[in-house]
Amino acid sequence: MRLRNIPGADDVIAGCPYVIQDGKAMKGRHQESFQCSQPIYIEIGMGKGKFLYELAKQNPAINFIGIERYSSVLLRAIQKMDEEPLENLKFLCMDARELSEVFAPEEVDRIYLNFSDPWPKDRHAKRRLPSREFLDRYDSILKKEGRLEFKTDNRELFEFALEELPFANWKAEAVTYDLHNDEEMCKGNIMTEYEERFSAKGNPIYKYIIYR
């Protein structure tokens, strides 16, 4: 995402009705941000929000919250909502390290991670969104029967993500090393921006669905 430091991005976000302005104040009350009280699905590291926008459009009976750390990236998702707003989609500009300060236990029904930053250096492993440290954070906000879905084209990151599961007491429900040629797992697949870019280059897409 080469969209850092767009002047005025913070001001746009501060006045934006699609953005939950004070995530910590909404802990345990995120349903109040939406017109209907219904399950909450979140995507962490949403980028420009293509995947979540399409998912929200297809699923009006679910409330979606897109989480993105950089306001200048989130701006693109806001522009899409300006063109065609969806009642069941909101955004949070925050670092996912603070998830348990923003969501109450079991407030979230499903979590999506798509093409998370790889942080290839070993000393940065804790920053990877599928690391055991982040799995513990997800555990603290996800419903007991909730699922987490992760897609990437980065083989090393995917192997790492699978190896982390037992350390955080998660289990794989479904795993594929070639999502686009896996009829069952690809059913209803919505491509993310990065997925379109990397699958067009011929990269296989890896995906798991996990639970605990």
CA–CA–CA angle 135, 137, 142 (5° rounding): 90
Spatial CB neighbours of 97, under 8 Å, sequence gap ≥ 6: 137
Q: Which is nearer to ligand SAM, 38 or 198 (CB)?
A: 198
Minimal distance, residue 68 CB to ligand SAM, in Å: 5
Is residue 135 within 8 Å of 186, Cβ to Cβ? no
For 174, the enclosing helix (H) or strand (E) is strand 171-176
Minimal distance, residue 53 CB to ligand SAM, in Å: 11
117 assigned to active site: yes
Q: Which of 18, 91, 115, 208 binds ligand SAM (CB under 6 A)?
A: 115
Is residue 186 within 8 Å of 180, Cβ to Cβ? yes
Category of 49 on φ-ψ map: left (φ > 0), alpha (ψ -120 to 50) or beta: left
Query: Is 9 a residue that touches ligand SAM (CB under 6 A)?
Result: no
Query: Is 156 a residue that touches ligand SAM (CB under 6 A)?
Result: no
Minimal distance, residue 20 CB to ligand SAM, in Å: 14
Spatial CB neighbours of 17, under 8 Å, sequence gap ≥ 6: none
Binding mask 40-69 for ligand SAM (x = CB under 6 A): ----xxxx-------------------xxx
Q: Which of 137, 192, 207, 208 binds ligand SAM (CB under 6 A)?
A: 192
Contact region for ligand SAM (CB under 6 A) — 34-42, 161-169, 188-196, 198-206? Answer: 188-196
Dihedral over Cα of 113, 91, 55, 192: its sign? negative
CA–CA distance, 177 with 28 (Å, rounded to integer): 36
Q: Which is nearer to ligand SAM, 38 or 59 (CB)?
A: 59
Catalytic residues: 117
**What is the contact surface with ligand SAM in residues (CB under 6 A)?**
1, 44-47, 67-70, 73, 95-97, 114-117, 192-195
